[in-house]
Amino acid sequence: MNAKEIMATDQEYYLPVFARYPLVLSHGRGAYVYDVEGRKYLDFLAGIAVNIIGHAHPKLVAAIAEQAGKIIHCSNLYYTAQQATLAESLVKLSGLGKVFLGNSGAEANEGAVKLARKYGKAAAAGKFEIVAAEHSFHGRTLATLTATGQPKYQKGYEPLPPGFIHVPFNDLEALKAAVSEKTCAVMLEPIQGEGGVNLPDAGYLAAVRELCDTYGALLIFDEIQTGVGRTGKMFAYEHFGFKPDIVTLAKGLGGGVPIGAFIASDRVAAAFGPGDHGSTFGGNPLACAAANAVLAIMAEEELLENARQVGAYLLEKLSELQARYPGHIAGVRGLGLIVGMKLTRPGKDLVVSCMERGLIINCTAGDVLRFVPPLNIQQRHVDEMIGILSEVLDEC
């Protein structure tokens, strides 16, 4: 099948929930992907913050192949070395107590919400409310789309599960007014990803932590996008000097192989016992072998340091662009390799123009170009990206 035939077949048989670009991808290597006609694209989206060690990293490919040749799946009725090893690594890296593994971000958050509800119920009758932020994104299951503070994801699915309240991000007074003895958890992305790369104000998250402690509410950090080194630390919360009670991970964890996780403190994790939660595929040896390889590669190749250095360079280069094109660019912000550039108008056309010139980027929240490249990109990739983006901005 050629590109046209593939697109036509997909459109005929696949549920039309994705507004796709007319691009059929075939393979990738490092920071580049190739379409079925052999055209090369620099990938500054990385499958939406998923391919954190780039495409087809030989050590990840080998780890997956080796594991597939041994055992792909065996059910959670049994132990595997791959799962035990990953659980140990995630606990040690996070400073928390116990891990549960699922297959996606939404599932990780769904599990975190269930754990918080169970923990809250044991603490006090009626302690089930979850306070989340406007413009957040937590997933597409019924509970997680209800936690998501964007009505467009909820419309048509009512009645929604009760007990979710939304307040503006970075508004401590609004949060104080919403949190009460009925709150079992406050759920936040430390940096909002889909909502437009919104960073927390200085002191905001620490004040949220304090407020949670005052009311005996748990703090859940959704680090599905910011975790696994994206911000230049393994977890974004390491920048702020305290820990949440539960953190969720997914996107980058398997380097592209589906896997999600929630990690809770021992005190909170004790609310779950045998039979309280589960998953058929979650934590299978194939996905765990991939995640173990990703963590090993990150350490070997010092990718946290690279994300900090190249992230700072990216921010600097985008700020220069802002100075050159003040009519098009309203602001630039980010931490490590999650960076947003706010435009003065909708960004969809820019994304298409970049794609036509061999650059894959993404626009979120309507007018924010989002840069979430692999964590092993180099300065030369940033220079190449800036070159293409400047050409496109010149034509605007």
Judged by CB under 6 A, the residue of 80, 82, 83, 104 near ligand PLP is 104
Question: Do residues 87 and 99 touch, judged by C-beta distance below 8 A?
Answer: yes
CA angle 196, 202, 203 (to 5 degrees): 120
At what angle are helices 379-394 and 348-356 packed, to 10 degrees? 110
Question: Do residues 190 and 246 touch, judged by C-beta distance below 8 A?
Answer: no
Active site residue 44: no
196 is written with which tokens? 């437009």
By CB atoms closer than 10 A (0-12, 13-18, 19+), residue 395 is: exposed
Rounded to whole angstroms, how far apart are CA atoms 4 and 11? 11
Judged by CB under 6 A, the residue of 33, 112, 250, 304 near ligand PLP is 250
Structure letter (DSSP) for residue 201: P
Under rule CB under 6 A, residue 265 binds ligand PLP: no
Under rule CB under 6 A, residue 139 binds ligand PLP: yes
Rounded to whole angstroms, how far apart are CA atoms 376 and 371? 14
Judged by CB under 6 A, the residue of 53, 185, 188, 224 near ligand PLP is 224
Q: Which of 243, 251, 317, 342 is catalytic?
A: 251
Stretch that binds ligand PLP, among 7-15, 61-69, 218-226, 305-313 (CB under 6 A): 218-226
Q: Which of 44, 100, 137, 221 is catalytic?
A: 137
Judged by CB under 6 A, the residue of 138, 209, 317, 381 near ligand PLP is 138
Under rule CB under 6 A, residue 105 binds ligand PLP: yes
Provide the residue count of the chain: 396
36 is written with which tokens? 């079925």
Judged by CB under 6 A, the residue of 43, 129, 189, 384 near ligand PLP is 189
Q: Give me the phi and psi of 363, to 5 degrees please.
A: -120, 130
Stretch that binds ligand PLP, among 100-108, 175-183, 300-308, 368-376 (CB under 6 A): 100-108
Judged by CB under 6 A, the residue of 225, 284, 306, 362 near ligand PLP is 225
Under rule CB under 6 A, residue 340 binds ligand PLP: no
Known catalytic residues are 137, 222, 251
Interacting residues with ligand PLP (CB under 6 A): 104-106, 109, 137-139, 189, 193-194, 222, 224-225, 250-251
